[in-house]
Amino acid sequence: MDEVEMLNLDAEEKMQKAVAFLQQEFSGLNTGKATPAMVENITVDYYGSPTRVQQLGNISIPEPRLLVISPFDPSVLPELNKAILAANLGVTPMNDGRVIRIPVPEPSEERRKEMVKIASRSAEEQRVAIRNVRREANDQIKALEKDGSITEDDRKGSLDEIQKVTDTYIKQVDEALSTKEKDILES
């Protein structure tokens, strides 16, 4: 495998990661339905080390609009409660000494619009990340041509290939945003 193919594969892998990161960010947005993804990536200070909620206990959904977190160690409940409040999810956790119950309210129209803005901002950040990957790959390809490692035709072909890959991943970001917006506004 030559250098150009390695550059193209590396760029594509980085773009895939940007889309995967966006999907993860979207999973944490409150759409009015209880999902474990809302809280599982929140970090809690557990004996001095940041630990994700999903590692501290079981997360269940006994009802469509209720999340229940049952920690393995009940002493973590106050810290867990604080972390959930600090995450600004638009929910209020209730601690009964054994579990944390999180009722997920129907979001107001204003909150839905705010969540759409947050989703749009996240999507734009990932579009920028994808374009930055493209720019870096293009710069490296141009440097290879300047060094005499590749021909002008190879450079043009590689730049075209990177642009096609970029367009594909930008389209995936746009589709993910469209799906999330629909989910937020219709739930």
Q: What is the third-level CATH fold of 36-103? A: Gyrase A; domain 2 (3.30.1360)
Distance CA 159, CA 44 (A): 44
Phi and psi at 43, nearest 5°, equal -100, 140
Residue identified by tokens 């002008």 is: 152
Q: pLDDT truncated to tens, each residue of the chain (187 aa)?
A: 588 888 889 999 999 999 999 988 887 776 677 788 888 778 888 888 888 888 888 989 998 888 899 999 888 988 888 888 888 777 888 888 899 998 888 878 888 888 889 899 999 999 999 999 999 999 999 988 888 888 888 889 899 999 999 999 999 999 999 999 988 887 6
Domain boundaries along the sequence of the chain: 3-27+108-186, 36-103
Which pTM does this prediction carry? 0.71
CATH code of the domain occupying 3-27+108-186: 1.10.132.20
Q: How far apart are CA 28 and CA 119, in angstroms?
A: 10
